Structure formats: C-alpha cells, structure tokens
C-alpha cells in the first residue's frame, strides 16, 4: 500500500525535552514537508526537503530541526527551544519538477507538552 | 507572502442541501488544492485544480486563476461531509502550500 506514515500518533513531552517525530513515505516522492496546525487554524510550513541531504526552513522553523538521510524518511525533532510546541504535526510529500506536484499528507502526530 | 481567504468560516447544513465554499487568493498561483480534514485530523485530497473545473461524485470545484478565486460545491450533502475544508495554494517559484483558515461544515441529519 502506497502512502505516508507518521509515528507516534500521540506524543507527550515534558518541558525541556527534545522529541523526534517520524515520517516515512513509499510513494517514491522526492520532496517532503513538515507542517504545524494549531487549533482552529490552517497549516504552516516548518521545513521542507527537495532532495536527500538537503532541506530548507519554512515560515516557522525556530525550535525545530530535521534530517533527510534517506529519500523515504524525513524526521522532525522538536527541541526544548520551541516555546509553544503543543500542536498537531503533519508530514507531506510530493513529486518534484514540472508544474504538477500535488501534496499528500500523513495522518499526523498530536504533541502535548505537560 | 500570499494571502488565502476562505468563506464562510462556518456552515451548517441540513442533510440533502447544496452549498458553495469560496477561496480567494492574493497573487498568481500554479497549484491549488482542496482538502477535507476529518474528525481524526487526516487531510484528504479532494481536488488538485490550478484552473478549470473538476467533478468527483457529489463534489465539484472550479478555479478561475485570472480572477484569483476557487469554489468548492457540495451537492446533496451527507453527515459524512462534516469536517473542515481547506483551500491551499502554491505560488510560482515556491514549494510550500499556503493554507486558508478553513470552512467548518456541519451537516445535520
């Protein structure tokens, strides 16, 4: 089954801890993205990657870090420097090149800081 | 950056009713997508529609790129249509999607 998986579904973190959210895709997409959603709002881009070993900051990258060592994987680390990390995190992927690059989303991870 | 405005913010429908959701955007785009977010948070792709008209069952969408708006039509609404509908656009020479705030649709039996 082709798709995007995220784990865990729910994550609880104590203040001061770093946590890593997993995102894996088997769609053979080159580009991957991380978005954050706060209650009652749309999604905002944290980081994106167009190719392995390369990534760019989005609109709200402060307090987050990513890596892209494999085409299929794009983990997001929420560091202790992120002042308000409680949110719903969504990973997405798309093809690259040309004018067609529809984005597809994973099921999301809900992070709560205790 | 590009501004994306969706209207109305909330919509309450009786089962079987028709409705129109609107998305206005402030600049030229080369990608526009409509999504339905279900109660569990999953974003479901409805349409990839940078221009023109598409239909999928009871749903259809029209984008008039030159006038910078898109419309999503829901016909014969069902309770399973409830949720939040998002419009998202991608500007030329950019990679991210910029999202509107969404329209929350509630369909009552």
Mean pLDDT to the nearest integer, A51-63: 94
pLDDT of B30 higher than 90: no
Of A45, A102, A104, the CB nearest to B96: A45
Please provide residue B84's backbone torsions phi and psi, each rounded to the nearest 5 degrees: -110, 130
- Cβ-proximal residues to A112 (8 Å cutoff; 6+ apart), any chain: A10, A11, A12, A13, A86
Q: What's the rounded Cα separation, in Å, for the pair A57 and B95?
A: 11
pLDDT of B103 higher than 70: yes
Q: What's the rounded Cα separation, in Å, for the pair B5 and A73?
A: 33
pLDDT at B43: 95
pLDDT of A83 higher than 70: yes
Residue of A43, A55, A58 for testing the chain B interface, max B β-carbons within 10 Å: A43
User: Rounded to a whole number, what is the distance in Å from the CA of B109 to chain A's nearest CA?
Assistant: 24
Half-sphere exposure of B44 (CA within 13 A, CB side): 12
CB contact under 8 A, B95 and A31: yes
Mean pLDDT to the nearest integer, B77-105: 92
User: pLDDT tier at A62 (50, 70, 90 boundaries)?
Assistant: very high
State whether residue A11 sits within 8 Å of chain B by CB.
no
Residue of A103, A106, A108, A110 for testing the chain B interface, max B β-carbons within 10 Å: A103
Q: Which chain A residues are Cβ-neighbours of B48 within 8 angstroms?
A: 100, 102
Please provide residue B80's backbone torsions phi and psi, each rounded to the nearest 5 degrees: -70, -10
pLDDT of A69 higher than 60: yes
Mean pLDDT to the nearest integer, B84-98: 89
Mean pLDDT rounded to a whole number for chain B: 95
What are the tens digits of pLDDT across the range A89-103? 999 999 876 556 899
pLDDT of A68 higher than 80: yes
Mean pLDDT to the nearest integer, B1-17: 96
């Amino acid at each position: 089954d082709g798709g995007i998986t995220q784990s865990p579904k729910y994550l609880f973190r104590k203040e001061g801890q770093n946590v890593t959210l997993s995102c894996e895709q088997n769609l053979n997409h080159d580009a991957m993205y991380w978005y954050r959603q706060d209650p009652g709002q749309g999604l905002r881009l944290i980081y994106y990657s167009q190719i392995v070993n390369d990534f760019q900051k989005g609109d709200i990258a402060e307090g987050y870090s990513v890596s892209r060592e494999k085409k299929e994987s794009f983990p997001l680390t929420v560091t202790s420097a992120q002042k308000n990390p409680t949110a719903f995190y969504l990973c997405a992927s798309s093809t690259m090149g040309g004018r067609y690059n529809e984005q597809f989303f994973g099921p999301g991870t809900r992070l709560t800081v205790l | 950056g590009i501004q994306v405005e969706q209207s109305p913010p909330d919509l309450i429908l009786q089962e079987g009713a028709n409705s129109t959701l609107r998305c206005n955007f402030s600049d030229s785009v080369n990608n526009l997508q409509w999504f339905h977010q279900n109660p569990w948070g999953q974003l479901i792709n409805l349409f990839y529609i940078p221009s023109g008209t598409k239909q999928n069952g009871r749903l259809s969408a029209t984008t008039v790129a030159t006038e910078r708006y898109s419309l999503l039509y829901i016909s014969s609404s069902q309770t399973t249509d409830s949720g939040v509908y998002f419009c998202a656009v991608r500007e030329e020479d950019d990679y991210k999607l910029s999202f509107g705030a969404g329209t929350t649709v509630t369909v009552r039996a």
